Structure 1
């Protein structure tokens, strides 16, 4: 199977899984309206899904480092969709919490193995990995549209229809796994990566990802309210700002892969975080419609390093790529999310602008951490270098055609 076709199928499958990460928060208004859940109760549902998914990802990563589990891709995709599909069927809060937890486990099981498979299919191409990451970002962003289209028309009783993306995603990954066949069945245990784990660099990378996560989750949670509260703000203006934040992420994901083909990943990430410092400062300090420009720059700056950080983590831990993928895609994101209540507390005590101001420091810390990181050599990169083209053989004249 051609590489581009495989990456497209994996990217669409990634979207079909990550749509369920965004679906949990999108269902909150319907839980409040139909079941009279309090904000504290529904926040427990969201927290259960996000924490369970993020913390479990490194566990699944460690398991896939030890045993080959290609079957996790279709099974986890179905599991992620099934949990959300059943969450609206029962009126019991306990069952709702359990079904959402099942979906979180499915999402957690998917990412480490899918990141490994995507890396093999990409053959080291940063652009291909960027397209794979783009699928997940688009899936997350389209979740509110999907939930709104289904549940708003017939209520929570129609949530079983939300299983459709999971069925599509599980089917799409099967041809890719069949095409890879031997290498995937061998898992990381059979295809032992060469190189030595650079744990110190991986820890620094993880801290940089945590800082990035704090900025993005903080802004995605409060940017809509912040824009509404500014002079001339409105609900539509806040929604537009959130849309720009998501669309900029899609652009940044693809741009990051393109830039990494020209410069090394550490350099690209370092400069993107430096741009993000100025962009976040613009959001907090610059008045007027220019905020949309700074929101877009912030989103692009935060997402340019997104897929690059995943492959960097895999190269820093070449013998534990599943664990590396689980941490960079999961655990570090959940730690960033835990800071959001602190931002809300500061906003309640002072103002939303004062609460968002410390976010300017986060990309600056990521930039400082990346200044200490080396650019690793991907395992097997040497074997992927094209052979030099031989010149004319000695003693033979090179004949030029009339078209040359």
Structure 2
């Protein structure tokens, strides 16, 4: 793209781009409410339907497994042709599945509805990551704000579930559809803003690709993906069982568990913004690698330190696991500059979905031994992520230098 054209895009679309990032972040929050809601609903399924740890974690698996498989497929689809309409539609599907999950009298129906929600979430992330990267013009902090929206949705979901289901029981779950309705409406003006920006510069269908001639680095992308998977196992394991663990560790009952989930998700929100800021000062690979190394100690504190002090380690572990969150997305897109939809779908979605595959194994081990014993293997996960990122190169950005205006919504 000629320099004059690129400069005119940056100067003519600064305010709209800020609005787009803000709206996309809010929409991301409305979608990721339903990822957090799966773990938040597990204690209520256990209480009302007498599920075991293993059976309850199977619900997490239902949402995660289909989402893990579907997200790369949706990513490949959006690499062929942009599908912005997926954002409002997938938001509604994600919310509808969770809203119906409390009404299914049988375990099979519950799994089905949660799986439907997982497919909706899977369809949302690849295209939203592509659109957010276009709107941010490669700004690390801008992308961290977009990711922050999802993390806030995670953080809000336990409180939302407790408010709706805690007081009214699982039969009140249809009220959980409200964030999806709001998110599907709010993403529409963001899509119009991004579309106008693309039309103003006569950009190709995937403008990020017009700014780079770099080849795809599949080897580095594969190593990054392995690190993301290990990170996903650690976070999903904690989010699924932390409420039970902290309730047992403190002796304060279910309220302690809900508080632990809120701390876990809010810590992630702080870590996401911190990661974007740190990446403006150091290269992304270094920030990610050091964060994972420090997170090993934090996860060990969560599992091994008893009592209220555990909340501090929950916050530190969550922040450490989320510092790499948005950075991994932009790294993946820069490793695969010609397949940004696939890269975004695997990293942005896989980080919160594939870890669910390990949840039933943790549940089985907890049933056979104790919950604390079952959580000990999670300490190794950030260490494995650190190993995966060792020696990874810092890729050239697939998108031109960000404008100052794009750094925050």
Compute the TM-score of the two structures, normalised by the length of structure 2. Answer: 0.83
1:374 aligns with 2:393: yes
- CA–CA distance in 1 between the matches of 2:50 and 2:371? 26
Q: Distance in 2 between matches of 1:42 and 1:355?
A: 15
SS of aligned partner of 1:69: coil
CA distance 1:331–1:245, shift in 2 (3 Å):
closer
Runs (5+) with no aligned partner, structure 1: 387-404
Indicate which of 61, 66, 69 corresponds to 2:80.
66
> How many matched pairs?
383
Matched, 1:128 2:146: no
Structure 2 residue corresponding to 1:141, chosen from 139, 143, 155: 155
Supply the distance in 2 between the matched residues of 1:60 and 1:233 (Cα, whole angstroms). Answer: 44
Aligned with 1:202 (options 221, 240, 244): 221
Q: Relative contact order, CA 8 A, sep 6+: which one is greater?
A: 2
In the alignment, is the contact (CA less than 8 A) between 2:30 and 2:182 conserved in 1? yes
Match of 1:188 among 199, 203, 206: 206
Q: Could you give the per-residue CA deviations for residues 99-152 of structure 1, whole angstroms, max 9, x where no partner exists?
A: 433322211110000011111111111111111111111112222322333344
On the 8 A contact 1:87/1:95 being kept in 2, the answer is yes
8 A Cα contact 2:284 2:394, kept in partner: yes
Contact 2:20 2:194 survives alignment (8 Å): no
1:291 CA displacement: 3.0
Partner of 1:166: 180
Whether contact under 8 Å (1:65, 1:189) holds in the other structure is: no
Determine the C-alpha separation between the residues in 2 that align with 1:98 and 1:285: 36
Measured in 1, the distance between the counterparts of 2:282 and 2:237 equals 30
For the Cα contact (< 8 Å) 2:158–2:258, is it kept in 1? no
Q: Distance in 2 between matches of 1:306 and 1:321?
A: 16
Residues of 2 paired with 1:155 and 1:251: CA distance?
31
Q: Which has the larger radius of gyration?
A: 1
- Taking the aligned partners of 1:168 and 1:191, their CA distance within structure 2 comes to 32
- Alpha carbons 1:253, 1:306 under 8 Å: kept: yes
3-state DSSP class of the match of 1:105? helix
CA distance in 1, matches of 2:304, 2:385: 21
Return 5+ residue gaps in structure 2 as ranges. Answer: 1-14, 405-409
Closer, same or farther: CA 367–9 of 1 in aligned 2, 3 Å: same
Identify which range, 62-71 or 242-251, moves more after superposition: 242-251
Tell me what 1:23 maps to: 37
TM-score by length of structure 1 reads 0.84
Cα pair 2:271 2:320 within 8 Å, conserved: yes
The answer to whether the 8 Å contact 2:232/2:350 transfers is no
Q: Is the 8 A contact 2:295 2:317 kept in 1?
A: yes
Cα distance in structure 2, aligned partners of 1:171 and 1:220: 29
Q: How far has the Cα of 1:270 moved from its partner?
A: 1.2
Structure 1 match to 2:345: 326
Separation in 2, partners of 1:103, 1:130: 24
Whole-Å separation in 2 of the counterparts to 1:227 and 1:344: 16
1:170 aligned counterpart, secondary structure:
helix
Cα deviation for residue 361 of structure 1 reads: 2.3
Aligned to 2:266: 247
